[in-house]
Each structure stands twice: as C-alpha cells, then as structure tokens.
Amino acid sequence: MGLFTATGYFLIVLVTVRANSLESGSRIIGGVNYGIEKIPYQLSLEKSGKHICGATILGEKRAITAAHCTFGIPASELKVRVGSNQIQNGGQLIQVSNCSQHPNFDNITLENDISILLLENSIKMNKTIKAIDPNWKDAIKVNTTVLTSGWDGNILHALNLSIIDRDTCQKYFTMVRLTNNKICATSNDTKNGPCEDDSGSALVLNNKLIGITSWTKCNSTNFPTIFTNVQNYEDFIKIYSNGVFKMSLSNIAYFICILHIIFNSFN
C-alpha cells in the first residue's frame, strides 16, 4: 500500500497524463514549427470533442497511441483528427470503433503503454495524410538523433531529441524500474521536451516509428522522456493492425523448435 501510494504520487507528478481539457493541458516545449505535410502521420485523439493525446497513422483504418490515453474510455467517445495543423479543427475527423489496449498495460508503472485504434471509416490519404511504418530493424543507439512532435497551442511542433542509455535515464525515474520496453530520449541541457498533451505521439528514427510518448516531467532541465519501445511489440502491432496474425521469424523459429522436440520424442 505504501509503495502504491508513493508510486501513485510519483506518477501524478511525473507522468504525461491525459489532459482533461485543452486549457489545463500542457504542450510540447521547444522544437520548431512544422507543418502537417512534414509529419503527415501525426493525428490528434479527441475525447468528446477535446484533444487528449497525439497518435500516429499506421494504415487506412489503424492508428497507434499510448494505452494511458485510451485507458477506461469507451471507443464510442473517441475520434481521431487527421491531416490538420490545428488542434480541434480542420482535416478529417473519424470515429474510433475499437481500442486494443495492450492486455498487460499496467496503469501504475505504465508498462506496455501501447494501444491500437481501429477506425470506423478509412482515412483518405493525401500529401498531408500518410501512414508511417514501424521501424523493426534499426538499432536504437545512444546519442542518435530522433524526432518527436506535438502541438504547442495551435501550432504543430517537431523536436529533435537524443537517445540516452537506460542507466542514465533510470536516475530520473527512481521509483519504477525501466525495462527494455522503454526508450529514453532527452533534449540534452534544455527544458525542451514533450508534455502531457503530447502523450501517444510518435518518436521517429529514419522516417519510421520507434516510440510512443509515454511519460516525463515537463519543463524541467535535462529531464528525459520515456517512450514505449515499439520494436518490442512487433507481434502485438501486427496482430491488431492487420487483423490477421502474421508469423514473425521468432515465431517460426519457435514452431520449428517445438516440432523438433516433438519429432525427437518419437525417436
């Protein structure tokens, strides 16, 4: 109970929680003005008409966001706005028909902070509206420059961050153990970084998705942001974004191994 309270308190202070209203929400600090045509995969997740989080277009009927953005909210209350520079205005507004929150999402530690949204109607893609593929391949190395994004009021911003190692990052998040399911990135020695309204937005390496904004302490010098490590959720993403289970190499290896064991047991 003691730990729960302490962790709960810690989360209230640090986590990029869902904003209840635009007025009270805090937005990305720093970065440069970026039009939607430069980050055409960016979308805004709205609950009952209010921006609560960012999200990312994966396909015509699929988007990805943080599980803490969809936690406890029926899909019927959620819409996504694609192809707009403005918050709560412009672009296409599409009803969410289903949220597949990660089954092991932990609302205290924010482990497995990932959720796939199924959309009622297809997104009409154009120059300002494009899907982004997850980056399954590139190694995520310390000091690599990565791009994140979010709205500063009505202006879309993009911000370069640098990957930092988990041990350094852990020093800032003393009450939760950071696993390989998280990526840490920082703006080095500035206060720049995402803030609560940016939860669910993308972290991008080589024009492909590597992370989902999960939590941080806003407006605090040097403080890193934690992103969900998309590469660790390949099976989850493939199941829910294709609707069909596609076997990954590791699954194939697993089945070959099982068959091998079964075969040997008959010899």
Ligand X SMILES: *[C@@H]1O[C@H](CO)[C@@H](O)[C@H](O)[C@H]1NC(C)=O
**Any contact of residue 129 with ligand X (CB under 6 A)?**
yes
**Any contact of residue 188 with ligand X (CB under 6 A)?**
yes
- Select the span of 7-15, 123-131, 227-235, 249-257 touching ligand X (CB under 6 A): 123-131
Which of 3, 6, 142, 253 is in the footprint of ligand X by CB under 6 A? 142
Contact between residue 221 and residue 199 where contact means Cβ atoms under 8 Å apart? no
Which of 17, 94, 158, 204 is in the footprint of ligand X by CB under 6 A? 158
Which of 33, 206, 219, 251 is in the footprint of ligand X by CB under 6 A? 219
Q: Nearer Cβ to ligand X, position 28 or 212?
A: 28
Say how many residues touch ligand X, by CB under 6 A: 30
Which of 33, 126, 154, 248 is in the footprint of ligand X by CB under 6 A? 126
Q: Nearer Cβ to ligand X, position 74 or 257?
A: 74
Minimal distance, residue 33 CB to ligand X, in Å: 9
- Select the span of 12-20, 47-55, 126-134, 249-257 touching ligand X (CB under 6 A): 126-134
**Any contact of residue 145 with ligand X (CB under 6 A)?**
yes
Q: Nearer Cβ to ligand X, position 91 or 200?
A: 91
Q: Which residue's entry shows tokens 């899907």?
A: 131
**Any contact of residue 143 with ligand X (CB under 6 A)?**
yes
**Any contact of residue 3 with ligand X (CB under 6 A)?**
no
**End-to-end alpha-carbon separation of the chain, Å?**
54
Residues 160-179 binding ligand X (CB under 6 A) are: 160-162
Task: Please count the CA atoms within 13 angstroms of the CA of 107 that sit on its side-chain side.
Answer: 7
Q: Which tokens go with 158? A: 């993009």
Minimal distance, residue 8 CB to ligand X, in Å: 9
| Binding site residues, ligand X, CB under 6 A | 26, 29, 31-32, 72, 83, 91-92, 98-100, 107, 118, 124, 126-129, 142-143, 145, 158-162, 187-188, 219, 240
